[in-house]
Amino acid sequence: MEWIVGLLIAGFLYYYFVMKKAGNLKFLKVAQAHPEEAYAFFKGNSCFVIFESKPPGSYRANLPSGEGDGPPVLP
């Protein structure tokens, strides 16, 4: 019986931290399927920070403050 409770707690934690906090996974799948359109979308909105090449080691200090999500990598 204890394992059922443990399984339910583990399932809830997985859902909360992976599915809710990770963002919209369906959106990222669509973005990976259509990388050119996704890149144009990201480039056209100022709320996204896009690196054209690999950023330097301390790049996080140069990012705007607030919550960040990612980095999703497009092919």
- Give the pLDDT confidence of 12-41 residue by residue, as tens digits: 888 777 766 666 677 778 888 888 898 898
Average pLDDT, the chain: 77
C-alpha pair distances (Å), 43 with each of 9, 19, 34, 51, 74: 40, 26, 14, 10, 13
pTM above 0.75, yes or no: no
Find the length of the chain. Answer: 75
Q: Say whether 51 sits in a helix, a strand or coil.
A: coil
Residues ≥6 apart with Cβ < 8 Å to 39: 50, 74
Domain residue ranges of the chain, discontinuous segments joined by +:
2-55
- Start-to-end CA span in the chain (Å): 46
